[in-house]
């Protein structure tokens, strides 16, 4: 549901609760209804104020950075914090609606709260780590990162983990704590025109690599989206029992990831045709 519609519904509900309390004096004598109204407004009024603050802060932030290439997740962080505070307000409102004093309830559960904090220590540290990540400009949704053994594009950041989509299109949940305990590489922070195309050929086909170079290099040197000031390089990465792994090092005309992928797909199709022809002729 649209946030504006939700905001309007909250305002209408708060006004309705106040109107019932003022227009119907008998409400004060109805304990259940009175507690329900108090509980409702305990959530609605602070939530409305919080929504106004959220909208104002985001509007000022967007206006200030309208002409800047801003990285980071400030808006995402504000939305996450707002959702968390609303959840806390809802719990307090339910307590008030049931006639429970929230302060006395929390005080009476101090020891239990400490035990819960110990039990959920990992989740709490993940939550705090998530807040640090969201309010920083080191990582952003859409960045390609490598953290520990995981590599992929950030699809979302929440209080528990970073949601990555790896090169096999699998969704990987990386705990936020790993960002602070493992070495992390942001592959999108400083975009480069240099990129690599990796491929593997059977040993029988790899022996005819000179022919491959003769067929592929002219395509690379005449490609409109490849920087011709740098000579394409074909590098042997690994020689196995029945295969050879290669990679091309190329410089594109821009640092666009999409352009890099398009060039890579085009070159890999040519390599597949080369491999097919050699296997067919053998």
In a domain, 117, yes or no: no
In a domain, 114, yes or no: no
Residue 1 clears pLDDT 80, i.e. is over it:
no
Which CATH number is 199's domain given? 3.30.70
Mean pLDDT of 79-105: 84
Query: How many residues would you count in the chain?
Result: 282
Higher local confidence (pLDDT), 49 or 189: 49
In this predicted structure, what is the pLDDT of residue 71? 55
Residue 65 clears pLDDT 60, i.e. is over it:
yes
Record the pTM. Answer: 0.54
Whole-angstrom Cα distance, residue 241 to residue 249? 24
In a domain, 158, yes or no: yes
In this predicted structure, what is the pLDDT of residue 170? 82
SS3 label, residue 2:
coil
Give the chain's end-to-end CA distance (angstroms, integer): 62
Same domain membership, residue 43 and residue 135? no
In this predicted structure, what is the pLDDT of residue 67? 65
Q: Burial-class residue 243 by CB neighbours within 10 Å (0-12, 13-18, 19+).
A: middle
In this predicted structure, what is the pLDDT of residue 124? 78
- Final residue of a structural domain among 74, 108, 142: 108
Residue 11 clears pLDDT 70, i.e. is over it:
yes
Q: Which domain holds residue 238?
A: 194-281
Mean pLDDT of 142-146: 81
Mean pLDDT of 199-222: 78
Whole-angstrom Cα distance, residue 282 to residue 277? 9
| pLDDT single digits (tens) 16-30 | 888 877 776 666 666
Residue 187 clears pLDDT 80, i.e. is over it:
no
Residue 5 clears pLDDT 60, i.e. is over it:
yes
Residue 282 clears pLDDT 70, i.e. is over it:
no
How many domains is the chain built from?
A: 3
In this predicted structure, what is the pLDDT of residue 106? 67
CB 158 within 8 A of CB 80: yes
Residue 176 clears pLDDT 80, i.e. is over it:
yes
Confidence of residue 133 (pLDDT cuts 50, 70, 90): confident
Side-chain-side CA neighbours of 235 within 13 Å: the count stands at 11
Mean pLDDT of 92-114: 76
Residue 191 clears pLDDT 60, i.e. is over it:
no
Asked which of 44-53, 59-68, 95-104 is least confident by mean pLDDT, the reply is 59-68
In this predicted structure, what is the pLDDT of residue 27? 60
Tell me the pLDDT of the chain averaged across its residues. Answer: 79
Same domain membership, residue 218 and residue 172? no
Whole-angstrom Cα distance, residue 106 to residue 95? 11
In a domain, 123, yes or no: no
φ, ψ for residue 234 (rounded to 5)?
Answer: -100, 120
């Amino acid at each position: 549901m649209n946030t504006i519609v939700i905001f309007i519904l909250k305002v209408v509900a708060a006004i309705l609760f106040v109107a019932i309390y003022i227009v119907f004096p008998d409400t004060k004598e109805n304990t259940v209804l009175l507690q329900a109204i108090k509980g409702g407004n305990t959530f609605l009024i602070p939530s409305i104020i919080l929504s106004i603050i959220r909208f104002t802060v985001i509007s000022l932030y967007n206006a200030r950075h309208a002409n800047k290439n801003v990285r980071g997740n400030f808006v995402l962080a504000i939305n996450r914090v707002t959702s968390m505070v609303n959840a806390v307000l809802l719990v307090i409102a339910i307590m008030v609606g049931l006639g429970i004093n929230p302060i006395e309830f929390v005080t009476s559960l101090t020891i239990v709260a400490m035990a819960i904090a110990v039990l959920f220590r990992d989740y709490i540290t993940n939550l705090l780590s998530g807040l640090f990540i969201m309010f920083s400009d080191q990582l952003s949704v859409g960045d390609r990162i490598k953290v520990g053994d995981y590599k992929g594009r950030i699809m979302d950041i929440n209080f528990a983990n970073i949601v990555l989509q790896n090169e096999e299109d699998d969704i990987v949940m990386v705990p936020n704590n790993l960002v602070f305990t493992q070495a992390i590489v942001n592959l999108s922070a400083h975009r480069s025109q240099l990129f690599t195309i990796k491929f593997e050929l059977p040993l029988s086909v790899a022996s005819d690599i000179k022919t491959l170079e003769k067929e592929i290099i002219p395509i690379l040197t005449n490609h409109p989206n490849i920087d011709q000031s740098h000579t394409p390089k074909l590098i042997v990465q690994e020689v196995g029992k029945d295969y050879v792994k290669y990679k091309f090092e190329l410089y594109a005309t821009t640092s666009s990831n999409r352009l890099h992928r398009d060039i890579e797909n085009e070159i890999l199709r040519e390599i597949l045709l080369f491999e097919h022809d050699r296997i067919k002729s053998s």
